[in-house]
Chain A
């Protein structure tokens, strides 16, 4: 069975630009969560979506937004990129209480 997939793998953007990251959950999983991991720290919760509705939001500015599609895939959008947004962005999916993570998208903002 395919695991959680994310695209792109790596991305380099310039300050002020916009970025869209994509995630496909494990087949049958209806919940998708996004996490940001900066170097040397543990992942930090950004959003959770279930059945296309936002179920939770972490302490991130409004520049961060997300949505979930009818096929349960999800997009994370970040506007007006800052140098501090450089990080590994992780997507997780779940059917029950256990979450499964994708390989991540490594975003570099220059």
Chain B
């Protein structure tokens, strides 16, 4: 099956810093989502981005599907950005169902 790897696994930053999170995947995909999992376990949708670039406030994301990676940028970090960030993909071969394969996650800690 598809492999989804995220880097770095852990990131500790001072409030106000910028960060880049990376997601590499081993097969062609037709769906890629970025999520933020808060300390209570809730997965919050950040982006649906199978290709191209999107921005939402301090967050932006870019997916280069032909090179099989996606990047999540967080600017001017705030303590509320702390948590685990997951990318999740659906492969072209997974026709007929909506199975998402999640990456290994990046744990982000923002220090005041």
Contacts and interface: CB of A to CB of B under 8 A. Distances in A.
Given A97-B90, A98-B48, A101-B43, A45 B33 contact: no
Contacts of A90: 41, 43
Interface residues of A, number: 26
Contact of B104 (A33, A42, A44, A92): A42
Contacts of B66: none
Interface size class of B (residues with CB under 8 A): 20 to 34
A42 B43 contact: no
Interface stretch (B14-22, B51-59, B67-75, B95-103): B95-103
Nearest to A46: B99
A99 B33 CA distance: 8
Interface in B36-89: 40-43, 45, 48, 50, 86, 88
A56 B97 contact: yes
Contacts, number: 66
A92 B102 CA distance: 13
Nearest to B42: A103
Nearest to A33: B98
A94 B98 contact: yes
Interface in A76-110: 88, 90, 92, 94, 97-101, 103-104, 106
A68 interface: no
Nearest to A101: B43
Interface string A26-66: 00000101010100011111001010000110100000000
B95 to A, nearest CB: 10
Given A42-B102, A99-B33, A104 B45 contact: no
B28 to A, nearest CB: 15
